[in-house]
Amino acid sequence: MAAATDQAQAVQKLRELMKDIYFCMLTTIDDDDNLRSRPMSTNGNIEEDGSLWFFTYGSDHKVVEIERQNRVNVSFAAPDKQQYVSLSGTAALETDRDKIKELWQPDLKAWFPQGLDEPDIALLKISVEKAEYWDAPAGWVAKAIGFATAVTTGEKANPAEHEKIDLR
Q: Give the domain CATH number at 29.
A: 2.30.110.10
pLDDT of residue 64: 96
Q: What's 108's DSSP letter?
A: G
Tell me the pLDDT tens digit for each residue of 79-125.
988 899 999 999 999 999 999 999 999 999 999 999 999 999 999 99
For the segment 8-13, the average pLDDT, to the nearest whole number, is 85
pLDDT of residue 130: 95
User: Residue 164's pLDDT band (boundaries 50, 70, 90)?
Assistant: confident
| 157 Cβ contact partners less than 8 Å away, ≥ 6 residues apart | 146, 147, 149, 150
In the chain, the number of structural domains is 1
User: Residue 1's pLDDT band (boundaries 50, 70, 90)?
Assistant: very low
> Cα angle vertex 145, ends 144, 150, to 5°?
100
Tell me the whole-structure pTM to 2 decimals: 0.83
pLDDT of residue 161: 80
Parent domain of 129: 2-166
